[in-house]
Amino acid sequence: MKMIFKIAKTELRNLFYSPVAWFLSIAFLVQCAVYYTDIVQGIAKWQDVALTNQPRFKGFEVSLTRAIFLGSDSLFSSVLQNLFLFVPLLTMGLISREINNGTIKLLYSSPISVRQIVLGKYTAIMLYNLVLVLLIGIFIISGFFNIVSPDYGVLLSAVLGFYLLMCAYTAIGLFMSSLTTYQIVSAIACFLMIFILTRIGGLWQRYDFVRDLTYFLSMYGRTEKMLSGLITTREVIYFLLIMYLFVSFTLIKLRSATESRPWYVNATRYVAVMISVLAAGYISSRPAYIGYWDTTANKVNTLHPYTQKIIQELGDEPLEVTLYSNLLGGGIDRTRPMNRNDYLWGFWEKYVRFKPDIQFKYVHYQDIDDHDSTLYKTYPGKTLSQIAGLQAELMEVDTAMYLHREEIRKQIDMAPEDYRAVMQLKYKGRTTFLRTYNDPIFWPDEMQVAPALKRLLAVKLPKVLFTTGNLERSPYKKGEREFWLHSLAKANRYSLLNLGFEADTISLDHNNIPKDVSILVLADPKTELSATVKARLRDYISGGGNLFIMGEPGKQQLLNPVLQQLGVRLMNGTTVEVSTQEMPHMVKPYITYAGANLAEDPFLIELKLKWGEDSIFLLQPGVASIAYADSSAFSAKPLLLTAAKNNAWIKAGVLVTDSVPPVFDALAGDTMMPAFTTSIQLTRQVHNKQQRIILNGDADLMSNLRSAGGFIGRAFYSWLDYNEYPVYAPMAPPKDQLLTIKPVTANILKMVYVWVLPAMILLLGTIILIRRKRQ
């Protein structure tokens, strides 16, 4: 070891006695300085303006640590993208210089072993890599002082990723330097090898035999997890193996120059090293042997504790996941064999981390609905097999691996899933589907995965029943006023079906309300409720059942007999808000603080943190206001409330929406109040539990046309289900949302980091080089 460090010391001295090391250090420093100070300067200016002119401004609502160091065009992402430009210049002369000058023969004839030469030179370059880490450290330390409550963990993880990648690159450069006497050839070869290892992960991914091999060798994306604050043994071992691989290759190459052995002996050595690397890489990438360390302050890379608990309840019993991929169906672009590693490591890894024994299977098939498929119109006159052949040619896949219609239909009927890509989960003989979606995320997230796992555990899921028989809104109809989108739409990741609810309809004229119902929905009846229906609703309310009631202007008299039992009523007339942008019946109430506390939805959490009681506004197209009394048996809290400044009132009689704006007329029966409640929650204690009821004066808010109410619609159902479902996985907001500096300080930092500090290093390097030359 002593000799290795002596060689490293000599090599490091020679490195800094040449202008290359100083030039690269200064160029690297300037690059880091420009990216750091440009972002900090811009944020400081925006923050100063916001703090001066926006009293409610509390922060940027994003992690500034990530924005400055890890975001797009940030310090680390930009440095890593350009790192391959520095390495060839740094390593091109490590061995080739010795060969070209003839000093390699002196080293061979000295009592120094080839192993000591190689390890000594590589140790020197690793130490130089630490110098680059120290240069980045300048800006990390600066970030600690410039950012309020910076996320230290994610920065340390990013530094580790940078250093490991740099060491892997320089190991490649060391080997390339041993192959030629020409330094420029060595630099080009190093650049080419880095390019190949970066791109090899996308090659031959359609072939099972080589997919894992090329994916393992690929350097592309290896630092992404570390840059996000997640350190895994799989990635760390990968970099160590790449270092070992190319340092060993260098050792074999130099030894071959001092030995007289047949060519196949050295070839065997290369193959043995490669096999050992692949074997170690394969073992270290098995889920059961991967270790994880989430270094972020809020554990953003880790499943929510609630989801972890569900996975723990699965125990040691195997979970089988079968991916059904249809060559002719939706989602084929993301579920082809060539995208399998993205499926396994991009989507499933965070779940495999807590359950390594998940078994993955794949079924590829070709099938479509003969009566409702655009493919027959796209390819007129073609048969199913001919269409499949054309699609396979476009997708660059082999049709032989896709089961024909007759074969797949013997196994499973995919028609209910619209023949699109879907996963079937099996556990202890129980099965459930986990769907994919036509949005940028595509794969399900924790809100869909957690309830699917709950189904496998045979947990009783909440049952939502929609009343029928009085022309109510239907969960089965797809019209713009209906409720299919938020209830039973399989293609909507936020539908009740995909969030863990069981939804169906019930006719109260013919059926009693089941005791196991979690939420009963009475949505905009258009005919008078029968005595039977009223009696069953009355009994359900008296028994403490949870209820979601939605009405519409002009139909108040249909619901008020039911609402009388609750101590509330829908006020006659239509609530209007006259504005220059919308028709008068388009009312925009805001979400109250009680509304923001309905559920742990990320939007509502952000709402509470940012605005407090003053909230964002929603659009309700035609709404009846709600009157309630404090003396009611129920405790009432408004969820949606019109703002006093909007000058809303209730228009009596018929409202004409497509003419001149209406005018308040007290004599005609119009009602003016400071604010009107358009949605309300009611609670009381019944049979040792809290009964929960929500009344909306507008059913259109939850309609297909209005995107099923969005986040507030999900929050309604969550609150009515005691916040058991949907399974929200909220993350605590970042603490590092503000800078500690003003624009003036940011300008000074830019001058120091971009100009003064590089100039000082340039002066130091110049002095050292001049003194060296004089000696």
Strands (E), 377-526: 422-427, 430-435, 463-468, 502-507, 519-523
Nearest to 592 by CA among 530, 534, 647, 636: 636
Predicted confidence (pLDDT) at residue 476 exceeds the cutoff of 70: yes
pLDDT recorded at residue 101 = 62
Single-letter amino acid code for the residue at 212: D
- The continuous run of DSSP H or E covering 332 comes out as helix 332-335
Let me know if domain 305-366+402-456 sits in CATH 3.40.30: yes
Dihedral angle, C-alpha 54, 58, 61, 64, nearest 10 °: 110
The answer to whether 170 touches 132, Cβ cutoff 8 Å, is no
Domain boundaries, the chain: 2-295, 305-366+402-456, 463-720
Predicted confidence (pLDDT) at residue 684 exceeds the cutoff of 80: yes
pLDDT recorded at residue 290 = 93
Name the least confident of 108-112, 300-304, 547-551. Answer: 108-112
The answer to whether 30 touches 138, Cβ cutoff 8 Å, is no
For the ranges 30-34, 80-84, 183-187, 605-609, the maximum mean pLDDT occurs at 30-34
CA gap 58, 73 in Å, rounded: 25
What's the residue count for the chain? Answer: 775
Backbone φ, ψ for residue 617 (5° rounding)? -105, 145
CA gap 490, 444 in Å, rounded: 12
Predicted confidence (pLDDT) at residue 130 exceeds the cutoff of 80: yes
pLDDT recorded at residue 581 = 82
Single-letter amino acid code for the residue at 482: E
- 127-133 mean pLDDT: 93
Q: Sign of dihedral through CA atoms 270, 271, 274, 276?
A: negative
Single-letter amino acid code for the residue at 22: W
pTM value is 0.87
Backbone φ, ψ for residue 684 (5° rounding)? -165, 160
Backbone φ, ψ for residue 313 (5° rounding)? -65, -20
Q: Helices 263-284 and 233-258 meet at what angle, rounded to 10? A: 170
Predicted confidence (pLDDT) at residue 661 exceeds the cutoff of 90: no
Single-letter amino acid code for the residue at 385: S
- 565-580 mean pLDDT: 90
Name the least confident of 46-55, 505-514, 613-622. Answer: 613-622
Q: Helices 152-177 and 183-199 meet at what angle, rounded to 10? A: 130
- 596-616 mean pLDDT: 74
The answer to whether 223 touches 125, Cβ cutoff 8 Å, is no
Angle, vertex CA 642, rays to CA 636 and CA 646, nearest 5:
160
Structure tokens at 617: 């506004």
Single-letter amino acid code for the residue at 166: M
Report the share of the chain in percent with pLDDT over 70. 95
- 307-323 mean pLDDT: 94
Quick check: helix, strand or coil at residue 205? coil
Instruction: Give the residue, 514 or 629, on which the prediction is more confident.
Output: 514
Among all chains, which residue has been given the structure tokens 């991914």?
Answer: 205
Name the least confident of 367-371, 687-691, 718-722, 739-743. Answer: 367-371
Would strands 463-468 and 502-507 be described as parallel, antiparallel, or unpaired?
A: parallel
- 460-468 mean pLDDT: 95
**Reduced 3-state DSSP string for 249-288:** HHHHHHHHHHCCCCHHHHHHHHHHHHHHHHHHHHHHCCHH
pLDDT recorded at residue 613 = 44
- The continuous run of DSSP H or E covering 88 comes out as helix 75-91
pLDDT recorded at residue 84 = 79
pLDDT recorded at residue 433 = 95
Among all chains, which residue has been given the structure tokens 């002596």?
Answer: 6
Residue 659: Cβ within 10 Å count = 9
CA gap 448, 452 in Å, rounded: 6
DSSP summary character for residue 318: -
Dihedral angle, C-alpha 716, 718, 720, 721, nearest 10 °: 160
CA gap 749, 110 in Å, rounded: 51
- The continuous run of DSSP H or E covering 568 comes out as strand 568-570
Backbone φ, ψ for residue 672 (5° rounding)? -115, 130
Please name every residue paired with 507 in a beta bridge, in sequence order, or none if there are none: 468
Predicted confidence (pLDDT) at residue 647 exceeds the cutoff of 80: no
- Give DSSP secondary structure letters for 615-663: --B--EES---EEE-TTSSSEEEEEEE--GGG--EEEPSPPP-SSSPP-
Nearest to 583 by CA among 652, 653, 661: 661
Nearest to 35 by CA among 162, 131, 130, 140: 140
The answer to whether 474 touches 483, Cβ cutoff 8 Å, is yes
Please name every residue paired with 258 in a beta bridge, in sequence order, or none if there are none: none
How far CA 746 is from CA of 26, 137, 584, in Å, comes to: 21, 18, 49
Predicted confidence (pLDDT) at residue 206 exceeds the cutoff of 70: no
- pLDDT of 63-79, one tens digit each? 999 999 988 778 898 88
- 260-285 mean pLDDT: 88
Q: Please state, rounded to an integer, the average pLDDT across all residues of the chain.
A: 88
Q: Please list, residue by residue across 432-453, b when 16 or more beta carbons sit within 10 angstroms of its beta carbon and e when fewer do.
A: ebbbbbeeeebbbebbbbbbbb
pLDDT recorded at residue 372 = 67
CA gap 154, 230 in Å, rounded: 8
- 664-668 mean pLDDT: 83
- Give DSSP secondary structure letters for 682-728: EEEEETTEEEEEEEES-SGGGSTTTGGGHHHHHHHHHHHTTT-SS--
The answer to whether 553 touches 624, Cβ cutoff 8 Å, is yes
Q: Which CATH class is domain 463-720?
A: alpha beta
Name the least confident of 118-122, 436-440, 538-542, 650-654. Answer: 650-654
Residue 200: Cβ within 10 Å count = 18
- What is the C-alpha R_g of the chain? 34
The answer to whether 505 touches 468, Cβ cutoff 8 Å, is yes
Quick check: helix, strand or coil at residue 719? helix
- pLDDT of 409-450, one tens digit each? 999 999 999 999 999 999 999 999 999 998 889 999 999 999
Q: Sign of dihedral through CA atoms 284, 287, 290, 292?
A: positive
pLDDT recorded at residue 77 = 86
Instruction: Give the residue, 532 or 400, on which the prediction is more confident.
Output: 532
Quick check: helix, strand or coil at residue 680? strand
pLDDT recorded at residue 96 = 75
Using omega within 30 degrees of 0 as the cis cutoff, is the peptide bond preceding 662 cis?
no
Nearest to 295 by CA among 146, 161, 447: 161
Nearest to 153 by CA among 287, 294, 345, 27: 294
Predicted confidence (pLDDT) at residue 373 exceeds the cutoff of 80: no
The answer to whether 578 touches 662, Cβ cutoff 8 Å, is yes
Structure tokens at 239: 């970099």
Predicted confidence (pLDDT) at residue 17 exceeds the cutoff of 60: yes
In Å, the largest CA–CA distance within the chain is: 113
Q: CB neighbours of 388 closer than 8 A, spacing ≥ 6? A: 327, 328, 366, 399, 402
Name the least confident of 109-118, 301-310, 411-420, 575-584. Answer: 109-118
Predicted confidence (pLDDT) at residue 623 exceeds the cutoff of 90: yes
Residue 9: Cβ within 10 Å count = 14
